[in-house]
Structure 1
Amino acid sequence: MDEAGDEGFGKLAEGNTAQSHWLSLGAAIVNEANDRQIPQWRDEIMSSFVSKKNKRDLHFRELNHDQKVHACATIATKPIGACVVSSNKITILEAEELEVFKRPQHLYNYLTRLMLERITHTCRRRAEAEGGKASLRIVFSRRKGTDYDKMREYLEFMRDGKEKMRPIRSIDWSVLDPADIAVENHNVRAGLQIADLFTSAVWKAFEPNAFGRSEDRYAKELASRLLKIRGNALNHGLTIVPPISKCPLSAAQKNFLQWIIDRKRKGVGP
């Protein structure tokens, strides 16, 4: 699991600042057999770049536009699932919960929760369809300032039913044990590099650049890998917070989400 963007709110209201408008968390999901193939898939991408042929650290932000498109198109051909949750931080500035989300790691934990709700249910359904039982192991990309022991405590708090309000969805605890959380550096685990690819590609579809424009080409290349229920990726493999009906979106962002919706209607992709 990896992230793109930041949790900052301090100068967000001032418009074009160093703080991102969106925070995205994403995961690359594979079964045990395919997990062993990920380093080869990463190397396949890196070997196609002349300047990076001997490197083993794929980082989305270090690629130029053409390399990003190629990397995304290559990974789209592999048996990897993707789940990304993207939060429009601008909407939180006027929310009653602003002071809560200003607390360190709170937004990060909340988005992690939303993502795990979707991933665990997908894993269980897939395992049951194949006559087996799912077990999920999570590897986080090490992030400065994140306390992963607190993350485990947060998950255990939910698992033990200590929340005051029962959530609409919940993590499937038959699939996930909070103890099965690992943290590794981005440059030593190929799976985290692929998670970065998914997360950053979707983040770019929402985050405005210095000219106020977003870029959805990368996310479109990877759209076939998003988790789906009955062909629908929205709110499963791709979730935006708040929902579309409450989220101020640019014309480009709306067009991208409509494109995702239309893929279901047309029956495109796995």
Structure 2
Amino acid sequence: MNKPTFIAYIDEAGDEGFGKLKARPGASGQSAWFLLGACIVRAENDLLLPKWRDEILSSFHGSKMRDLHFRNLKHDQKVVACQILSGKKIGVCVVASNKITIAEHQKREIFKKPQHLYNYMVRFLLERVTSACAEAAKKSGSNSCALKIVFSRRGGTNYQTMKEYLALIRDGKEKIFSNYKIDWSVLDIDSIEVENHSKRAGLQVADVITSAMFCALEPNAYGNFEPRYANILQGKYIKSKGRLLNFGVTLIPPLGRNPICDERRKFLLQLK
């Protein structure tokens, strides 16, 4: 049996900074939440991603859009985009940082360093994605697999620095504890790629799934949350031993210590 190969396309939603968080919905400032999300596919389905992206775009009657940007879509278009993806063979993993807790943390100066939060969240995301791929390979009868990572290029991010941080973890030099570990038998740091959003349909799909969860956590200009998009996709979130929270959807800090409103807490607890 050939060793299965997986591809994970990674995008972000919100911004990394927390020096001037929005004082209220609609005000100027940085987002309260920063998310990283991965769209995971098997290699044999990777070639289908452009077709799936085009299926979404063609459903927007009269639209001339060539690229899929969630933020540019109307509500009804966002709904149908998630509905179409909910029927495709993808896995979804999202890590979400509530930056209000960082701004109040005694070690906040550490996270003010350039790219520190981004790299930290990449670690959390890859711990879960590599674990899910290894488990999926075992279920299909293989003792090994390979994972290829493709990041959506974002301004101000030094991807070489990110790779060096991952190497630090691989070599056992990271001192921050985590409940999960990156499975290095699955991931080769040197194989990580960075590409423009418009060049890869997988990155556009990753934009949809990450932004869908962002809308459920970050209040809009009117102070409302929109969990519908993420709810449509909830059958796609990866799980560990049947558990979705802290795996397919991971909050930092965890839900039990995350100061969020009852509305969002109820939404997260009903994810299955």
**What TM-score range do you get, normalising by the shorter chain?**
over 0.9
Write out per-residue CA displacement over residues 216-264 of structure 1, whole angstroms, 9 at most, x where no aligned residue: 000001111000123321111101110111111112201211211xx3x
Identity %: 53
Tell me the equivalent position of 1:19: 30
CA distance in 2, matches of 1:150, 1:207: 28
Write out per-residue CA displacement over residues 27-85 of structure 1, whole angstroms, 9 at most, x where no aligned residue: 10001000110000000010011233x53300100100000000001000000000000
Say whether residues 1:134 and 2:145 are aligned partners.
Answer: yes
Write out per-residue CA displacement over residues 82-127 of structure 1, whole angstroms, 9 at most, x where no aligned residue: 0000000001111122111111111111111001000001101111
Aligned residue pair count: 260
Q: 1:104 aligns with which of 101, 114, 117?
A: 114
Write out per-residue CA displacement over residues 141-194 of structure 1, whole angstroms, 9 at most, x where no aligned residue: 000000000011010111011123554321010101111110000011000000
Instruction: Please say if residues 72 and 222 of structure 1, whose CA atoms lie closer than 8 Å, have aligned partners that are also in contact.
Output: yes
Instruction: Please say if residues 22 and 203 of structure 1, whose CA atoms lie closer than 8 Å, have aligned partners that are also in contact.
Output: yes
Tell me the equivalent position of 1:10: 19
Q: 2:255 aligns with which of 244, 248, 262?
A: 244
Give unmatched runs, 5+ long, in structure 1.
264-270
Relative to its length, the structure with more helix (as a share) is: 1
Give unmatched runs, 5+ long, in structure 2.
1-9
CA distance in 2, matches of 1:220, 1:165: 32
Tell me the equivalent position of 2:79: 69
RMSD: 1.3
TM-score (norm. length: structure 1): 0.93
Write out per-residue CA displacement over residues 8-37 of structure 1, whole angstroms, 9 at most, x where no aligned residue: 112117444331000010010001000110
CA distance in 2, matches of 1:17, 1:180: 39
Say whether residues 1:145 and 2:156 are aligned partners.
Answer: yes
Say whether residues 1:205 and 2:216 are aligned partners.
Answer: yes
Q: CA deviation at 1:2?
A: 0.2
Q: What is the correspondence of 1:225-236 to structure 2 with a 5 Å cutoff?
A: 225-236=236-247
CA distance in 2, matches of 1:208, 1:243: 19
TM-score (norm. length: structure 2): 0.92
Q: Kindly provide the amino acid, as one letter, of the partner of residue 6 in structure 1.
A: D
